[in-house]
């Protein structure tokens, strides 16, 4: 199957979502401020979670940049959390009628995906809040250290297009930013994960991760949210957010359970990207981290096919 057919079949092109500035520099004094959003709610697999860069051009504003879009608004109960402490965090999504949304479609076995990361890309989390009957989402959230965090709520209201909204969270205290050198190899809990392939701006880029443990290839990866891996990319400078799932799916008769998992990503611009891979093995989900710079020149701008919602084409 050629690349174009894969995109049609699996919807693996990405949607770009911009967050705020990437914090870089020296330690700063006590940090205070308001910011806010990201667990446990189960359901059946809802299709391929993916998107296209077309939506950014169509709306002149990528998803996740705002807390309100398309009639939907993300409203957290608080935007300031105590660092290092598990805090019950809750929020609501209100719809065009101003009322809390209570019906959501299942996307990758969950009705809400919440990504939280500090502005320097430290402390990455992908959690799934629980939904109450009144439309309130809740999840215990731990912001490990002080700083400004960005949270992305990724959801699909029933009968409406998938949407990504973003808010900031603040964890007051002395903030020491972290710099991440270029790295294609990540070690976590005795696993070594290598990422091969290049990110070429404006083009569909194939990247492949290979998972080994104690020098042996892992060939029995377990499905996590209906896939053998989930990949998030964050662009340096503005924390632009991309979310993509791999080519193929568990149980389709052709996708092996490791040691390799292949992704297709379309980054919109040159720069450095931080990438986070969630994978499950032996009953535990782990996150491997990478830092890649784009290669090659950006492709000439081309007209993109029509897209709806916030670029999550390919659902279902």
Q: Is the pLDDT of residue 179 over 90?
A: yes
Task: Give the model's confidence band at 252: pLDDT under 50 very low, under 70 low, under 90 confident, else very high.
Answer: very high
Stretch 84-109: mean pLDDT, rounded? 95
Task: Give the model's confidence band at 160: pLDDT under 50 very low, under 70 low, under 90 confident, else very high.
Answer: very high
Task: Give the model's confidence band at 209: pLDDT under 50 very low, under 70 low, under 90 confident, else very high.
Answer: very high
Query: Can you give the pLDDT at residue 63?
Result: 60
Query: Can you give the pLDDT at residue 302?
Result: 47
- Spatial distance between the Cα atoms of 63 and 69, rounded to a whole number of angstroms: 8
Q: Is the pLDDT of residue 72 over 60?
A: yes
Query: Can you give the pLDDT at residue 43?
Result: 39
253-308 pLDDT, tens per residue?
999 999 999 999 888 889 999 999 999 999 999 999 999 999 976 655 544 433 33
162-178 pLDDT, tens per residue?
888 889 999 999 999 99
Query: Can you give the pLDDT at residue 141?
Result: 93
Architecture of domain 26-48+62-175 in CATH?
Sandwich (2.60)
Q: Number of C-alpha atoms within 13 angstroms, CB side, residue 165? A: 24
Least confident of 96-110, 214-228, 241-255: 241-255
**Where is pLDDT greater, at 291 or 55?**
291
Query: Can you give the pLDDT at residue 311?
Result: 37
**Where is pLDDT greater, at 305 or 122?**
122
pTM of the model: 0.75
Query: Can you tell me which residue has the tokens 């009628």?
Result: 97
Query: Can you give the pLDDT at residue 50?
Result: 38
Q: Is the pLDDT of residue 84 over 70?
A: yes
Stretch 225-238: mean pLDDT, rounded? 86
């Amino acid at each position: 199957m050629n690349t174009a057919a894969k995109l049609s079949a699996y919807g693996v092109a990405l949607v770009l979502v911009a967050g705020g500035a990437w914090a870089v520099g020296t330690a700063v004094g006590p940090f205070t401020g308001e910011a806010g959003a990201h667990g446990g709610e189960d359901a059946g697999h809802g299709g391929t979670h993916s998107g296209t860069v077309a939506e950014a051009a169509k709306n002149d504003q990528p998803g996740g940049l705002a807390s309100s879009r398309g009639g939907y608004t993300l409203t957290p109960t608080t935007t300031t959390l105590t660092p290092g402490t598990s805090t019950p965090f809750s929020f609501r999504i209100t719809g065009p009628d101003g009322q809390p949304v209570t019906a959501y479609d299942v996307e990758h076995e969950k009705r809400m995906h919440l990504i939280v990361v500090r502005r320097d890309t430290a402390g990455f989390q992908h959690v799934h809040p629980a939904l109450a009957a009144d439309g309130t989402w809740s999840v215990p959230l731990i912001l490990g250290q002080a700083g400004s965090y960005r949270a992305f709520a990724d959801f699909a209201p029933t009968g409406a297009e998938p949407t990504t909204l973003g808010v900031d969270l603040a964890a007051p205290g002395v903030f020491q930013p972290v710099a991440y050198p270029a790295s294609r190899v990540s070690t976590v809990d005795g696993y070594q994960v290598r990422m091969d392939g290049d990110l070429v701006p404006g083009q569909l880029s194939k990247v492949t991760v290979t998972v080994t443990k104690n020098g042996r290839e892992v060939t029995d990866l377990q499905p996590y949210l209906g896939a053998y891996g989930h990949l998030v990319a964050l662009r340096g400078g503005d924390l632009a957010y991309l979310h993509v799932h791999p080519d193929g799916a568990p149980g389709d008769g052709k996708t092996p359970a490791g040691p390799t998992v292949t992704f297709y990503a379309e980054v919109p611009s040159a720069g450095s990207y931080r990438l986070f891979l969630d994978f499950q093995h032996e009953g535990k989900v782990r996150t491997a981290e990478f830092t890649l710079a784009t290669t090659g020149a950006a492709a000439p701008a081309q007209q993109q096919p029509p897209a709806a919602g916030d670029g999550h084409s390919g659902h279902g």
